[in-house]
Copies of this chain bind each other. A is one copy, B any other.
């Protein structure tokens, strides 16, 4: 049994303790997915629970959107492993306010997000509950699992898609206002990055991670697992202009807002230095998802590994923003 190194944080302390408790009964608790060898194939498995009031609110999203977003979150872990062809099971806890028609709408969202990723819903479980929650478990196929470990000095660091839009929607709602349509769509209907994850896996990705907890934090996990330092140029982050107004209202620059992120189901990937803009265009043609080079992998120094953020050539500390909610 090998445990991936995890970055700091209370959730990861809990996962470490669970790993210690389970001893030989726990495997790979630190990666996006667990892996299971079956009949010569490698399956990637992830389970993800979404709870009303924590992950979504019914006054922000339709029931179909709640089902879609919960499913996209679980599928994002498969994408980060380079897995595809997902099979999905859904367990729902249902308060009395969720009637049969509402369950149908939730499951329609689960089914549509699964179909958009080329997968199938296999079954599920329904229970009464005091609050609405959706537990989505996904099982995908992988030729060569892409892990958090494997980034090498000299690799380029790339991200898929755009950063900050979902978080902009969240913060706008929390202020009691109506999000920009592009921000709302990013939050309500995130596209599972299954195809681009698979494409990157087939094009020599060295290491990959889902950045749904925010680029800043998840980059630290990748650096820790790979035993390297990452250097990221904040001005290169693909933060769309629709994020600007919300970031300013929260008192931070848009690139900082995008780096803290935390609601986007995008991927951070270390690719060999030969992978350049031409290859990024090939990827976009094949998957319709843009790739942006945001930095590079460098060796650890006496100063350690971790992540150094730069902005226009100056080092920037994000630690003051870590508890920025």
| Chain A residues close to B by CB (< 8 Å) | 10-11, 13-15, 17-18, 21-23, 25-29, 31, 33-36, 38-41, 43, 45-51, 53-55, 87, 89-93, 100, 103-104, 107-108, 111, 114-115, 120-131, 133, 135, 137, 139, 141
Quick one: which of B25, B103, B121, B123 contacts A114, CB cutoff 8 A? B25
Given A27-B120, A130-B51: A22 and B91 interface contact (C-beta under 8 Å) = no
In the complex, the answer to whether B28 meets A123 with C-beta atoms within 8 Å is: yes
Question: What are 27 contact pairs spanning A and B, CB under 8 A?
Answer: A10-B100, A17-B100, A18-B104, A21-B104, A26-B121, A27-B121, A27-B122, A28-B122, A29-B124, A34-B122, A35-B122, A36-B139, A38-B38, A38-B39, A45-B122, A46-B89, A49-B92, A49-B93, A49-B125, A49-B129, A50-B127, A51-B93, A51-B130, A55-B127, A89-B137, A93-B133, A137-B137
Q: Which of A10, A29, A36, A38 has the most CB of B within 10 A?
A: A38
Q: Are B17 and A104 in contact (CB under 8 A)?
A: yes
Name the contact of A34 in the complex, choosing from B28, B39, B43, B123 (C-beta under 8 A).
Answer: B123
Q: What copy number does this chain have within its complex? A: 2
CB distance from A3 to the nearest CB of B (A): 11
A26 vs B124: C-alpha distance in the bound complex, in angstroms? 10
Smallest Cβ-Cβ distance to A30: which chain B residue? B123
State the CA gap A244–B34 with chains docked (Å): 46
Query: Once the chains are docked, how many angstroms separate the CA of A47 from the CA of B123?
Result: 8
Contact in complex: A89, B51 (CB < 8 Å): no
Give Cα distance in the complex from A55 to B93, angstroms. Answer: 11
Q: Measured between alpha carbons, how far is A55 from B130 in the docked complex, in Å?
A: 12
Q: Which of A15, A22, A27, A39 has the most CB of B within 10 A?
A: A22
Asked if residues B130 and A47 are in contact (CB atoms below 8 Å), the reply is no
Of all chain B residues, the one with the shortest Cβ separation from A54 is: B128
Among A10, A28, A55, A128, which residue has the most Cβ atoms of chain B within 10 A?
A128
Find chain B residues with CB under 8 A from A31 CB.
Answer: 123
A35: chain B residues within 8 A (beta carbon): 122
In Å, the complex CA distance between A247 and B66 comes to 44
For A18, what are the chain B residues with a Cβ–Cβ distance below 8 Å?
Answer: 103-104, 107, 124
Residues of chain B within 8 A of A28, CB atoms compared: 122-123
| Contacts A122-B27, A123-B26, A124-B47 given; does A130 touch B13 at CB 8 Å | no
